[in-house]
Amino acid sequence: MVETPLHFKTISELTLLLKERKITSVELTSYFLKRIRNLNPTLNAYSLICDDRALKKAEQIDNIIKNGDKLGPLAGVPFAVKNLFDIKDNVTLAGSKINYNKKIAKEDAILIRRMEKGGAILLGATSMGEFAYDFTGENIHFGNCQNPHKLGYMSGGSSSGSASATSAGIAPISLGSDTNGSIRVPASFCGIFGLKPTYGRLPRTGTYPFVDSLDHLGLFARSIPDLSQCFDLIQGFDEEDHVCIDRENIKTLSEIDLGINNLRIAKAGGYFSTKHFPEAKKAMDKVCESLSVNNTVNIDGTLEGRAAAYIITNVEGSLLHRDHLKKNLNDFDPDTRDRFIAGAMLPGSWYVRSQQVRKWFKDKFLAKFNEVDIIIAPATPCTAPSIGQKKILINQQEQLLRPNLGYFTQPISAIGLPSCVIPTIDEESGLPIGVQIIAPPWREDLCLRVANYLEKKGFSSPTPVESNSSF
């Protein structure tokens, strides 16, 4: 049996090696930093590498182990964060050169602090689309983030670097954000697990905003136990985020092995039909067959709900960047700039109506959970397109690619439902494509239970094709 490389080992495997002193935290951290230096020139997954900080933290972990003191659950495990998380003493660029003159962060984002309290070691910040307004992984300022499974293909966005880094084994776990699909699209393209929790579950304190009404934070990992363990660690109320809900944390790691026997599972139909999306259809068929799913639920109002999310995104995003649009118009990525300008010209009545439609759609969707516990839906219409591609077929009509990669994810985040992406492989192209596991609000445990069942059935994160010998 082939030994799993160190960079693809699970969190439990890494922590066991550290506890048994088969490797030191400094050695493990140095290993990942070296791997980043080797691969990042090709992948462009990291925008900031925190060498000194990481090694200093690793030394602290080694001293704790040496002294026999109590270890956190992630002691010595490296992680990365999307470059919209504040990292103390660094400028939070959020994928834009416009932020070069922004003040340095005085403290870490709260989720970084929670990860480090659990013993995890921050490796750095990962690449992203400008101001998180992106599904592709392309960035005119800092270069395109590559898909580890096929160079020259999109990693997905806007949490492009976090997904690419986790897929390539240069970060065992990573944090990202999801407004309209920015965790789930790159998870689908890069062949890893991605969790977008319920809106308001994870505090956004210390992160660069995009659309306050829709912004979520979440995680990427190569296994569900890893995802669950980290999710359990970073939960918790924080009053500085006005949308964060003060409710009891849930423990998902202890629940993921409960299986699916008592769960009512259906696939999404209607708007979510994969009739004209052959790659997504094959992925859905594999998952539904493994879950013995035959029931279909149609959710009325999905098209209207997605349209509402579009308008909310345009209006709130443009309002946030109004001053930049006035002063630094030509410093924007043209794709980002044009959409912000469009949002600035929308009438206020459209925004108000969109919020009303969003609530109407949410009520319709939530009613379906009286009939089922879990809904299965595609994550993306297709596998990763090639970098630079501009058009995509949507229901047999050629449409702009950039906004439509979130065709299946945007309606779910619009109403704040938890969703976990699990990977499949499209045999024809050899590229990954994911499927969403969607649960009622605050039931991330159900998403992760189903995803864990599927992982045990063989739906695991594929190892990237070795287009680079170091992968």
Q: Amino acid identity, residue 288?
A: C
Among 155, 160, 182, 223, which one carries the catalytic annotation? Answer: 182
Residue 340 lies in a domain: yes
1 inside domain? no
H, E, C per residue of 108-161: CCHHHHHHHHCCCEEEEEECCCHHHCCCCCCCCCCCCCECCCCCCEECCCCCHH
- Scan for tokens 């094709």, then name that residue: 465
| CATH code of the domain containing 371 | 3.90.1300.10
The reported pLDDT for the residue numbered 470 is 55
In a domain, 344, yes or no: yes
Write down the pTM of the prediction: 0.97
Annotated active-site residue 223? The verdict is: no
Q: Does 468 map to a domain?
A: no
- In one-letter notation, the amino acid at residue 73 is P
Distance CA 387, CA 405 (A): 13
Tell me, what amino acid is at 220? F
Spatial separation of the C-alpha atoms in residues 187 and 349, rounded to whole Å: 35
Closest by CA to 96, choosing from 432, 422, 335, 430, is 335
- In DSSP terms, which residues pair with 221 in a beta bridge? 173, 193
Residue 386 lies in a domain: yes
Query: Is 211:406 a contact under the CB 8 Å cutoff?
Result: no
Closest CA to 185 of 471, 392, 402: 402
Beta bridge partners of 193: 221
- What angle do helix axes 25-43 and 11-19 make, rounded to 10 degrees? 140
> In this predicted structure, what is the pLDDT of residue 467?
46
Number of separate helices (H) and strands (E) present in the chain: 15, 13
- The closest of 88, 101, 92, 74 to 16, measured between CA atoms, is 74
Q: Given this model, what pLDDT does residue 309 score?
A: 98
Contacts of 129 (CB under 8 A, 6+ apart): 95, 135, 136, 137, 138, 139, 157, 158, 160, 182, 336
Out of 96, 155, 158, 160, the active site residue is 158
Residue 435's identity, in one-letter code, is V
Within a domain: 467 = no
Low-confidence ranges of the chain (pLDDT < 50): 467-469
Classify residue 420: in a domain, yes or no.
Answer: yes
Q: Determine phi and psi for 156, rounding to 5 degrees.
A: 85, 160
CA distance 251 to 103: 37
Domain of residue 236, residue span: 6-456
Other CB atoms within 10 Å distance of the CB of residue 72:
17
What is the C-alpha to C-alpha distance for residues 338 and 258, in angstroms, rounded to an integer? 48
- DSSP character for 332? S
Q: Which of 258, 263, 190 is nearest to 437 (CA)?
A: 263
Per DSSP (E only), the strands in 4-144 are 46-49, 78-82, 121-126
| The amino acid at 407 | Y
Active-site pick, 9, 82, 267, 286: 82
Tell whether the torsion through CA atoms of 398, 404, 409 and 410 is positive or negative: negative
Cα(79)–Cα(171) distance, rounded to whole angstroms? 5
281 has catalytic annotation: no
Q: Let me know if 158 is a catalytic residue.
A: yes
Structure confidence by residue, pLDDT tens digits, 331-373:
999 999 999 999 999 999 999 999 999 999 999 999 999 999 9
Q: Which of 412, 34, 389 is nearest to 198 (CA)?
A: 412
Task: Give the whole-angstrom CA distance, residue 157 versus residue 435.
Answer: 16
Instruction: Provide φ and ψ at 334, rounded to 5°.
Output: -55, -40
Is the torsion defined by CA of 82, 214, 382, 449 positive or negative?
positive
Containing H/E element for 64?
Answer: helix 51-67
- Domain count across the chain: 1
Question: Does residue 470 belong to any structural domain of this protein?
Answer: no
Contact status, residue 29 vs residue 80, Cβ threshold 8 Å:
no
C-beta neighbour count of 149 within 10 angstroms: 26
